[in-house]
Structures are given as structure tokens and as C-alpha cells.
């Protein structure tokens, strides 16, 4: 069952809003556009799969959303705050606390043991070393890698490395997880494991934006966007906005609010 | 807390390249060690001369012919060149004039020449000092045997330093033996006890000198002049007045000639102190060059490290590192390298200084100033040579860095 975008009013608030986003490389005759007048609204709790041919601007889009790159023109609102007004220092802090990255080639630092790789976002969130390691250990435990905490990345299989990378992406409990072809370098078994992990993370109310070339993975998504030449070709939602998962913390908040109201009535 | 995290990161990345880190540290260590060694030895020499003056006493006054200009070259000339002997305008008359003044206990001229001596052996160039009987009192010297020079003797007598006695006669007891100096015969009447201070305000190694009467020496060597007059005041209370009196009296006696200096206390060691400062300054510059070379080594290694870790920088930026986070991480790495180099240099420098002390008369001079200089130089070298690599690392584009596999 498919729902047309914008037709159904959702309960979850908008977390990302892109308006007329353009990314140009080069000038004059040599100019090429990775993104052209790109509009997108992402609700909290969505699991978006972005597909499209190579060079259509998927990774550029992910980099801009992840505050690693800036658009040539257009506006990007993160939690209704224009990103252009956020200082580089705060953008870095947002990357540490609100955004988690998962890469195709895992991008673990080869000289650091797995636990220290996983704890990296916490380093820049201001956590004390002991607290960092406890949290990283908990994250690794969740992905059945606890016994490999002090292994070096090269001692792990591709699937295990990607699970460690996912643990790193979620260790700081970010609101948005950006995954750039996370199964691109994995065999089908490892791919399934990784996707199941992402599904689990999404079911906890996290927003995931994932770039993939594999159409079979779209079954995990709540929304599938096909890109072509830096613009959206098709955009299909498979889950109503109202049915999107809510984050555990928000559930708790809502629950507390309800109880307060009830007590007030009494 | 953030600084602690940066330190942890810097330490862990240095630990990953132990050999490289050690060699870079060694480069800085050698530079710091040379500075420490120079400062320590120069400090030792200065304190040696200063302690000698304080040992001799605060009542010591020295008259020296003054250099025409108080420049670096004149100081070097004054201490090292024999031309200083020709410039002196001090005479035995001046010695007699000073001796008559109030508050002057004893006066001794120093007329130094270098001559060949023939005793039982030939010493081709020995230092011969023409002086008076008061010299032993002013200098606080003791005799091993015999007597010092006396004013009332008609014969040519000489007193010999312990070291020179051994060279000239092959024995430490040459009393009664004769020697030939510029064709004249001198009889040895006394031998000085061994003196172990080759560096002193007289610029003489007393152990290697022959002392004869200044008048006798003047008779056989007309060109001889007095380079210094040593005076001991009877009372230290009126020292300043005595100095002024000596100055005024000499100016009058010499018909207005003011080409001499009347010095007391630390001023006496000043020419030596200034020369050592110049030498230590020049040597420090040479050592500074080796420190700069070490610093370039640090920069080189840090730049290699930045290039090798471009991908890591990309990952760190992607997970939340800011410009200042990366900058601090790399700057602290450079600082740790240079500060460790500073500590290594301190140990090496003092190690070599102590080693040198076994074969030279110096004692290594340890002071908090030297420790601060060692710490500050390593810190400054770390900051200067770590700045550019740190800026380069921090300014890297995260997207390009993530694509880079070194």
C-alpha cells in the first residue's frame, strides 16, 4: 500500500527541511550540478531509502544533510533552524550528538581498538573516558560484539566491522542516522544482519536516511526516493506518517504528560 | 577535561609510532642538551671566578689600564691578546703612590711576561710575574716551603709555582736551585703550595708561574709594563672612599691621564664575565641552530603524520570533531614530542656536563633558570614547529579526507 507524499498529515514533526537546494561543482562551461533545486521534508521516525544511478547526487545530499558539506544555494533547516546560521563549531557538535554516520567502507580508524572507535563521537560530546568506554561497551553488546571490544578493526570480518560502525553511529543516541550504502561491501548474509540492526534502530523511533543501489532493501524503508540528475524522480511513502515509530524518550515524555493531565483532572 | 581528552588522543597516536616519536624527540633532545651543556659550563666558570673574589675578600681593589673603548673586541683583546701589555700606563711609581695612601694595607703590581726558563729542564714559554712581597698577602697564598720575595734582598730571588717547579726541576722541592731568565740568574727561595684555580681574576694560572721582584724583572726586560695593581684595603668600611682616593691620586700623579680603572667586588670579574657571556651567547646560537634543525624534524614528522592520517581526520570530523579539536590534537602531539625532548635534553646535557667535570676543573652549574630555559625552549619549539602541521590537519576537508586512503 502506497501513500502520496504530503497527502497524509503526520503526527511526527519535521526534522529536516530542504528548500531549493543546489550543489554546483566548477564554474561556467565546466559547471556540473550534483543537486538542482532539491526540495525534501523529512519527518522524525522516517526510514528513507534513496536510490538512483551513480552520480545522481545521493552521497552529496547525504553529506549536506550530515553537515559535512554545504550547498551552493538553497536553504537547509535542521529542527527548523537554518543551518547557514549555525557556526562551524556548533555544526561539529551537532554531528557528534545529533547525527550518526554509517559508511560503505566502515571508516573505522585502523590504529584504534573497536571500543575506542565506537566511543569516538562521545570524545567530541564531552564525555569522560570511563563513561565513554562504558557507553561504547553497551553499544557493542547490543550488536553482539562485546567479546571483540579490544580487537583491532582488521581482526574483524566485514559484517562485524559494519556492525561496529553502526554501534559508533548510534552510541551518542543521535536523532538522525545517515547511511551511505552500508551493505555495499557485504555479502548477502551480513547485509541482512546489518539491515535487521537498522530496522531495530528505526523501530526505536530514530530517523534513518540510507543511500543504496539494492532495490530489495526497500522493504525496510517507510519511504523510497528515486533520484535522477540531482533531483527527485519519484518519492513514495509506504507507511503513513501517523504510523511512524516514536522515540523511546518521546514516548516517555508523552506518557508523563498524559499522566499529569489525568492527575490534574482529578 | 577537553584538554585531558586531547592529551589522551595525542599520547595514543604517539604511542602508535614509538620509533618515529623517539627519534624526533632525540633530535630536540640533542638541541636542548647542547644549550644546557653550554649554559651549565658557562655558569660554572662565572660562579668559579665570582666565588674566588668573594673568597679573597670584599676589601680587594684592582687597578687595571682601561681599554680605549668598552666594546666586545676590546674585552676579547684585553683577555686574550698580548698587545694589552703594550697599552698599560701603570708604573712602579703608581704602586709606590698607592702604597702611601690611607686605608691601603698592601699593594702588589702584576707585571706579566712570557719567557723561556732554563733550570734543570728547559720550559720554552713560562709565565713570569714581576711583583712585590705584598702579593702573597693580597692573594692569600701559602708557601709549601721557603719564603716569598723580600724587598731587602740584593740578589735575584724567585718563588715558583708547584706545577712549574715540577716541570723545571722534576721535583717539588727546588729551593736553592738556580734558573736562567733572559740571561740573568735567579735563585729559588720559595715554592707555593699547590693552587687549584687556573681561572681567576688575575688571568694567571698561579701554579704555573714564576714570581720575581718587579724591579728585578724591569731591569732585565725594559719593555715590561704593569698590567694590574692589586690592593688590599685596611678597612672595608671606607672602601668606596679609598677607591675614589686612589683614582684621584693616580690622575694627579699621572698628570691627568685617566686611562685606568679602579675596580672592586664584582667589577673585578667583569671582563671575564663579559667574555664568558659573549662566548656562551655565540655557543648558544650554535646550539640554537641544532634546536631549529630538531624543530624542523618535528615539523617534518608532524606533516608526514598529518598526511598519513588524512583519512582518520576525515572520520573524526564526520563523528563530530571541530577545527579546534583536530588542531589541539596535533599541536599537543608536537608539544609532547618537544617537551619529552626537553626532558631528554636536560638529562643528556647534565650527563655530559658531569662527565666533563671529571676531566676539567668545573662543576656543572644547576639553576632553576636553566631548567626554565630548557622547558621554555622546548615549548616554544613545539608551538612554532607544530603550528603549521596542526593548522593543516584542522583545515582538511572532511569529504576529501574520507575518500583518502594513505
pLDDT range class, residue B217, cuts 50, 70, 90: confident
pLDDT at B81 over 70: no
The residues spanned by each domain of chain A are 3-98+174-265
A147 in Cβ contact with A156 (< 8 Å): no
> Do residues B195 and B141 touch, judged by C-beta distance below 8 A?
yes
| CB spacing of A121 vs B320 below 8 angstroms | yes
pLDDT in tens, A156-182: 998 899 999 999 999 998 999 999 999
Tell me which of B268 and B99 has the higher pLDDT.
Answer: B99
Minimal Cβ distance to B318: which of A68, A116, A128: A68
The answer, yes or no, to whether residue B234 has pLDDT greater than 90, is no
- Residues B344-400 have pLDDT tens digits of 998 998 888 888 888 876 777 778 888 888 888 889 999 999 999 999 999 999 999
Instruction: Report the C-alpha gap between A71 and B188 in whole angstroms.
Output: 100
* Whether the predicted pLDDT of B72 surpasses 60: no
Q: Mean pLDDT over residues A96-110, rounded? A: 91
**Do residue B398 and residue A68 have CB atoms under 8 angstroms apart?**
yes
Q: Does B3 touch chain A (CB under 8 A)?
A: no
Q: What is the DSSP letter of B264?
A: E
3-class DSSP assignment, residue A69: coil
Contact with chain B for residue A106, Cβ under 8 A? no
Arithmetic mean of pLDDT, B243-262: 85
Instruction: Supply B259's cell numbers.
Output: 686611562
- Answer whether A13's CB lies under 8 Å from A246's CB: no
Average pLDDT over residues A87-115: 92
- What would the pLDDT profile of A216-225 be if each residue is shown by its tens digit? 999 999 999 9
pLDDT > 90 fraction of chain A, expressed in percent and rounded: 61
Flag the least confident range among A57-61, A259-263, B301-305, B401-405: A259-263
Range of lowest pLDDT (B57-66, B76-85, B200-209): B76-85
Q: Please name the member of A120, A128, A129 whose beta carbon is closest to the beta carbon of B316.
A: A120
A68 to B317: CB separation less than 8 angstroms, yes or no: yes
Instruction: Check pLDDT > 50 for residue B59.
Output: yes
A66 in contact with B, Cβ within 8 Å: yes
Helix (H) or strand (E) holding B50: helix B18-56
Higher pLDDT, A134 or B169: A134
Q: Kind and range of the H or E element at B288?
A: helix B270-308
B308 touches chain A (CB under 8 A): no
Strand partners, A35: A23
pLDDT at position A10 is: 43
Q: Which residue has the higher pLDDT, B216 or A22?
A: A22
pLDDT: which is higher, B263 or A226: A226
pLDDT-derived band at A6 (thresholds 50, 70, 90) equals very low
Q: Which of A88, A109, A129 sits opposite B322 (nearest CB)?
A: A88
- Chain-chain contact of B16 with A111 (C-beta, under 8 angstroms): yes
Q: Which residue of A has its CA nearest to B15?
A: A111
Confidence band (pLDDT; 50, 70, 90) for A257?
A: low
Residues of B with Cβ-Cβ distance to A125 under 8 angstroms = 320
Instruction: Give the cell for residue A247.
Output: 522515540
- Give the model's pLDDT for residue B273: 60
The candidate with the shortest Cα–Cα distance to B216, out of B251, B255, B189, is B189
Average pLDDT along chain A: 87
* Averaged pLDDT for residues B3-28: 83
Put simply, the answer to whether A107 touches B315 (Cβ < 8 Å) is yes
| Higher-confidence position of B66 and A44 | A44
* Confidence band for B91, pLDDT divided at 50, 70 and 90: confident
Phi, then psi, of B210 in degrees rounded to 5: -115, 130
Q: Where are any strands of DSSP class E within B14-82?
A: 60-65
Cell of A7: 497527502
Q: How far apart are CA B91 and CA B224, in angstroms?
A: 10
Going by C-alpha positions, the residue among A57, A99, A58 that lies closest to residue A78 is: A99
pLDDT band for position A84 (50/70/90)?
very high
User: For B42-60, what is the mean pLDDT?
Assistant: 73
CATH tag, A3-98+174-265 = 3.40.50.300
Q: State the pLDDT at residue B67.
A: 59
**Residue A34's Cα: distance from chain center in Å?**
20
Chain B interface disruption, residue of A23, A57, A59, A68, most B CBs within 10 A: A68
Residue B325 near chain A (CB below 8 Å): yes
Shortest CA gap A263–chain B (Å):
42
- Indicate the pLDDT class of residue B13, thresholds 50, 70 and 90: confident
- Asked if pLDDT for residue B1 goes beyond 60, the answer is no
Residue A96 has pLDDT above 50, yes or no: yes
Report how far residue B116's alpha carbon sits from residue B111's, in angstroms, rounded to the nearest whole number. Answer: 16
pLDDT score, position A9: 40
* CB pair distance less than 8 Å for B321 and A109: no
**Nearest one of A121, A94, A90 to A108, comparing CA atoms:** A121
- CA B144 to CA B111: how far, in whole Å? 23
Per the CB < 8 A criterion, the answer to whether A241 and A209 are in contact is: no
- The C-alpha atoms of residue B109 and residue A236 are separated, in whole angstroms, by 111
Nearest to B321 among A63, A92, A108 (CB): A92
Do B319 and A168 count as a contact with CB atoms less than 8 A apart?
yes
* A192 and B CB contact within 8 Å: no
What average pLDDT does this structure show over A85-111? Answer: 92
Which pLDDT value is given to residue B365? 78
Q: How far is A159 from chain B (nearest CA, A)?
A: 19
Instruction: Give me the mean pLDDT over the B92-103 stretch.
Output: 85
A129 interfacial to chain B (CB closer than 8 Å): yes
For chain B, report the end-to-end CA distance as a whole number of angstroms: 31
CB contacts < 8 A, A to B, total 70
pLDDT band at B83 (very low <50, low <70, confident <90, very high): very low
Mean pLDDT of all residues in B295-321:
93
A168 touches chain B (CB under 8 A): yes
pLDDT at site A253: 62
Percent pLDDT > 70 in chain A is: 88
Q: What is the tens place of the pLDDT at every residue in B105-115?
A: 889 998 888 88
Average of per-residue pLDDT across B281-286: 82
Residue A152, pLDDT score? 94
- Interface residue A244 vs chain B (CB under 8 A): no
Could you give the C-alpha distances from B242 to A63, B95, B237, B253, in angstroms and in order?
Answer: 87, 15, 9, 16
Substitution target from B5, B12, B15, B319 for chain A, most A beta carbons within 10 A: B319
Query: Inter-chain contact B9–A95, Cβ cutoff 8 Å?
Result: no
Amino acid at each position: 500500500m502506497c501513500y502520496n507524499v504530503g497527502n497524509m498529515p503526520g503526527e511526527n514533526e519535521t526534522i529536516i527541511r530542504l528548500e531549493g537546494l543546489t550543489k554546483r561543482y566548477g564554474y561556467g562551461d565546466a559547471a556540473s550540478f550534483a543537486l538542482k533545486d532539491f526540495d525534501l521534508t523529512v519527518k522524525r521516525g522516517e526510514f528513507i531509502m534513496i536510490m538512483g544511478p551513480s552520480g545522481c547526487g545521493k552521497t552529496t545530499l547525504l553529506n549536506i544533510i550530515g553537515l559535512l558539506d554545504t550547498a551552493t544555494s538553497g536553504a537547509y533547516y535542521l529542527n527548523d533552524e537554518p543551518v547557514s546560521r549555525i557556526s562551524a563549531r556548533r555544526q561539529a557538535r551537532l554531528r557528534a550528538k545529533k547525527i550518526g554516520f554509517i559508511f560503505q567502507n566502515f571508516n573505522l580508524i585502523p590504529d584504534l581498538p573497536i571500543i575506542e572507535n565506537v566511543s569516538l563521537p562521545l570524545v567530541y560530546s564531552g564525555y569522560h573516558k570511563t563513561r565513554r568506554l562504558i557507553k561504547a561497551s553497551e553499544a557493542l553488546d547490543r550488536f553482539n560484539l562485546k567479546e571483540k571490544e579490544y580487537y583491532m578493526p582488521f581482526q574483524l570480518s566485514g559484517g562485524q566491522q559494519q556492525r561496529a560502525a553502526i554501534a559508533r553511529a548510534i552510541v551518542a543516541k543521535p536523532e538522525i542516522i545517515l547511511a551511505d550504502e552500508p551493505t555495499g561491501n557485504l555479502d548477502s548474509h551480513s547485509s541482512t544482519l546489518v539491515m535487521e540492526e537498522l530496522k531495530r534502530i528505526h523501530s526505536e523511533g530514530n530517523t534513518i536516511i540510507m543511500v543504496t543501489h539494492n532495490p530489495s532493501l526497500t522493504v525496510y524503508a517507510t519511504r523510497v526516493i528515486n533520484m535522477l540528475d540531482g533531483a527527485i524522480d519519484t518519492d513514495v511513502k509506504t507507511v503513513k506518517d501517523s504510523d511512524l515509530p516514536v522515540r523511546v524518550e518521546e514516548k516517555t515524555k508523552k506518557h508523563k504528560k498524559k499522566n499529569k493531565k489525568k492527575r490534574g483532572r482529578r | 577535561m577537553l584538554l585531558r581528552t586531547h592529551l589522551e588522543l595525542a599520547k595514543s597516536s604517539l604511542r602508535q609510532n614509538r620509533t618515529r616519536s623517539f627519534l624526533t624527540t632525540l633530535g630536540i633532545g640533542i638541541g636542548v642538551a647542547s644549550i644546557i651543556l653550554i649554559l651549565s659550563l658557562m655558569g660554572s666558570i662565572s660562579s668559579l671566578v665570582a666565588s674566588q673574589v668573594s673568597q679573597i675578600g670584599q676589601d680587594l681593589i684592582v687597578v687595571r689600564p682601561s681599554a680605549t673603548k668598552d666594546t666586545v673586541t676590546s674585552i676579547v683583546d684585553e683577555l686574550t691578546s698580548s698587545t694589552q701589555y703594550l697599552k698599560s700606563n701603570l708604573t712602579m711609581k703608581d704602586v709606590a703612590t698607592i702604597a702611601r695612601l690611607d686605608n691601603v694595607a698592601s699593594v702588589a703590581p702584576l707585571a706579566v711576561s712570557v719567557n723561556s726558563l732554563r733550570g734543570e729542564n728547559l720550559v720554552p714559554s713560562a709565565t713570569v710575574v714581576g711583583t712585590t712581597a705584598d702579593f702573597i698577602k693580597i692573594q692569600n697564598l701559602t708557601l709549601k716551603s721557603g719564603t716569598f720575595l723580600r724587598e731587602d734582598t740584593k740578589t735575584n730571588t724567585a718563588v715558583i709555582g708547584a706545577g712549574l717547579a715540577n716541570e723545571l726541576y722534576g721535583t717539588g722541592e727546588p729551593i736553592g736551585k738556580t734558573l736562567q731568565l733572559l740571561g740573568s740568574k735567579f735563585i729559588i727561595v720559595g715554592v707555593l703550595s699547590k693552587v687549584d684555580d687556573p681561572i681567576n681574576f688575575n688571568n694567571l694560572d698561579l701554579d704555573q708561574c714564576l714570581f720575581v721582584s718587579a724591579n728585578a724583572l724591569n731591569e732585565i726586560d725594559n719593555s715590561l709594563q704593569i698590567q694590574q695593581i692589586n690592593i688590599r684595603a685596611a678597612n672595608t668600611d671606607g672602601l668606596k672612599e679609598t677607591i675614589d682616593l686612589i683614582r684621584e691620586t693616580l690622575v694627579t700623579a699621572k698628570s691627568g691621564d685617566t686611562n685606568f680603572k679602579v675596580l672592586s667586588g664584582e667589577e673585578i670579574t667583569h671582563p671575564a664575565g663579559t667574555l664568558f657571556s659573549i662566548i656562551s651567547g655565540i655557543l648558544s646560537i650554535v646550539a640554537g641552530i641544532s634546536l631549529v634543525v630538531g624543530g624542523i624534524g618535528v615539523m617534518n614528522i608532524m606533516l608526514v603524520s598529518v598526511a598519513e592520517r588524512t583519512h582518520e581526520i576525515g572520520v573524526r570530523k564526520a563523528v563530530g570533531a571541530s577545527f579546534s579539536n583536530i588542531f589541539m590534537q596535533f599541536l599537543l602531539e608536537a608539544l609532547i614530542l618537544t617537551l619529552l625532548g626537553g626532558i631528554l635534553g636536560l638529562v643528556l646535557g647534565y650527563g655530559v656536563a658531569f662527565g666533563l667535570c671529571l676531566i676539567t676543573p668545573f662543576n656543572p652549574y644547576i639553576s632553576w633558570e636553566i631548567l626554565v630555559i630548557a622547558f621554555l625552549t622546548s615549548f616554544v619549539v613545539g608551538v612554532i614547529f607544530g603550528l603549521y602541521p596542526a593548522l593543516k590537519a584542522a583545515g582538511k576537508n572532511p569529504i576529501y579526507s574520507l575518500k583518502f586512503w594513505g
